[in-house]
């Protein structure tokens, strides 16, 4: 087909890219986490979970001990921990299940795709926790 010019092909590729971009969500992985305290005095095994507003709670089944760095490969059954469908930030937090009162909050913050410098983002809160997240698709392009 002689009629397909390179520029037409380019336009086609751009449209294809836009369409696939509309449906793909950028995955966020929890790479490591260390908690510095637990909030429940009565329970020896804390239940720690990550939650973004309007989404499901993601329980971190392995995170039980404080002052221990848990590292993850990104392919654990509960990963990815979050996703960004667009450029908007999400209100997320780290919590501990409380059987008697409302759940304890380690921290709540805006998780933003543009804060993943070189695909990584660290969220540290003194005396609470230190978590590193990865999102390779969030990488800010240097143009
Ligand atoms: C947080 O964790 C990361 C990865 O383990 C580590 O490189 C960094 O030094 C830690 N930051 C603090 C303040 O503990």
**CATH code, domain carrying 106:** 2.60.40
Mutate to test the pocket of ligand 1, among 33, 71, 122, 131 (most ligand atoms within 8 A of CB): 122
Whether 129 contacts 32, CB under 8 Å: no
Q: Which of 17, 48, 43 has the alpha carbon at shortest distance from 99?
A: 43
CA 18-22-25 angle, 5° bins: 125
What pLDDT was estimated at residue 76? 97
Q: Position of tokens 């926790």? A: 129
| pLDDT averaged over 10-residue windows placed end to end, the chain, 143 residues | 65 58 80 93 85 96 96 97 95 94 96 94 97 90 52
**Separation of 108 CA from ligand 1 center, angstroms?**
19
The residue segments making up the domain with residue 29 are 25-138
Say what the pLDDT of residue 40 is: 75
Position 16 in a domain: no
Rounded Cα gap, residues 17 and 21, in angstroms? 6
Distance (Å, whole) CA 32 – CA 110: 19
- 13 lies in some domain: no
Q: What pLDDT shows up at residue 68?
A: 96
In a domain, 129, yes or no: yes
Count structural domains, the chain: 1
Judge whether 82 lies within some domain.
yes
Quick one: which atom of ligand 1 is closest to the CA of 122? 1
């Amino acid at each position: 087909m002689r009629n397909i010019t390179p520029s037409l092909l380019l336009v086609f590729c751009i449209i294809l890219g836009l369409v696939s971009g509309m449906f793909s969500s950028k995955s966020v992985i929890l790479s490591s986490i260390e908690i510095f305290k637990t909030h429940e005095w009565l329970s020896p095994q804390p239940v720690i979970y990550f939650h973004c507003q309007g989404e499901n709670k993601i329980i971190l089944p392995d995170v039980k001990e404080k002052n221990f760095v848990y590292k993850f490969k990104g392919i654990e059954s509960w990963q990815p921990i979050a996703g960004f469908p667009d450029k908007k930030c999400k209100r997320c937090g780290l919590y501990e299940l409380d059987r008697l009162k409302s759940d304890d909050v380690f921290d709540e913050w805006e998780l933003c795709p543009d804060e993943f410098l070189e695909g990584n983002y660290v969220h540290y809160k003194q005396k609470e926790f230190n978590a590193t997240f990865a999102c390779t698709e969030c990488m800010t392009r240097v143009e």
